[in-house]
Structure 1
Amino acid sequence: MSAENVSVNFSELVNKNKQTLARLQESPRLLLHRRDGEDLVLTTAARAEQDQTVVSAATRMLAAMARREPGSMELLLDVLPDAFPWVRFLPESDLHAFAVELVDTMRAADSIGNNASVAQMLVAWQHTAEVYSDPELLAALTKDHGEDYGLVTDPRGAA
């Protein structure tokens, strides 16, 4: 049994549904390529539940470790560069803020069974690290332009 996902065109699922679905025995997931939309992933309910159980367990363990002792946050800060090499570009205060936000967001996302906010948070922090990695971009984005144009009206109130 292969651990790799099987890729098929979405039309195969439509035209040869029994044969295509039988391929889920070969792979944990089917990657369905669509011509007119985003690709889809098809898996069994049991596999999806297993995946969520694993993510939930890892989240709870990470959160428990981070809350235990003062030294546990230092351990987390030490291992973050192994998991996310781009954190090396973050200033130390931002690295600490990232670690706290990561644990808190993972716990919150796990509580509702939706990890989209974790993925979004990781992408946002990675972009922040990208800015810090480029001195010219950092200077351009942090430069004080000296002018304040005042309050901006809420566009939802404009008719």
Structure 2
Amino acid sequence: MVTEVQWSDLQRDPKQIARLADEGTVRVRRRDGVPLLLIREDREQSQSEGSVAAARALRNVLVHLQPERAAQWLIEEFPWADVLPEQARAQFVHDFARAFQASAELGEWSVLAQAIREWRSTALVYADPELTRALAEPIDGDFGPVPPPMGE
């Protein structure tokens, strides 16, 4: 259960907000920034332990399945993976499992999100036969300086 309060509520009555945090997660809305989540440390540790256990179990399941079978299940959630060639789909399954476990162990789910973004971008390339062909051709000559990367 997530209870939402305003930053001013936290400033005005921190004891009441602490009582709410004893009951569950508290989302503190701020006008000038991203909301904050307040959660008791013991609850966070328990969630972290649970997510690590789930990640290990999922990774073991994925490792013991045939890559084609695991890919079938992941394609239900990530339909774009269906355009990947068979070998790339198997690598996606492997990378997904590793990133899932790493994310759970670190408590940092951006690792998994990054792996999914990268594989989705790869699928976009494979979905466009002209782009796939152009990227597979040898590059001749110098095309000049490379511009700095653009933000997402």
TM over 0.5: yes
Q: How does 1:87-106 map to 2 (within 5 A)?
A: 87-106=81-100
List alignment gaps of at least 5 residues for structure 2.
none
2:7 to 3, 10, 24: 10
What's the % identity of the aligned pairs? 25
- Other-structure match for 1:107: 101
Aligned counterparts of 1:45 and 1:111: Cα–Cα separation in 2: 17
Q: How does 1:1-159 map to 2 (within 5 A)?
A: 3=1, 5-26=2-23, 28-68=24-64, 71-130=65-124, 132=126, 135=128, 139=130, 143=134, 148-149=141-142
Letter in 1 for 2:21: L
Letter in 1 for 2:110: A
What is the RMSD of the two structures over their aligned residues, measured on CA atoms? 3.1
Relative distance call for 1:59 and 1:19 in structure 2 (3 A) is same
Kindly indicate whether the alpha-carbon contact (under 8 Å) linking 2:125 and 2:131 is maintained by their aligned counterparts in 1: no
Structure-1-length-normalised TM-score: 0.69
Q: Count matched residues.
A: 145
Query: Secondary structure of the equivalent of 1:14?
Result: helix
List alignment gaps of at least 5 residues for structure 1.
none
Kindly indicate whether the alpha-carbon contact (under 8 Å) linking 2:59 and 2:101 is maintained by their aligned counterparts in 1: yes
Relative distance call for 1:148 and 1:120 in structure 2 (3 A) is same
Structure-2-length-normalised TM-score: 0.72
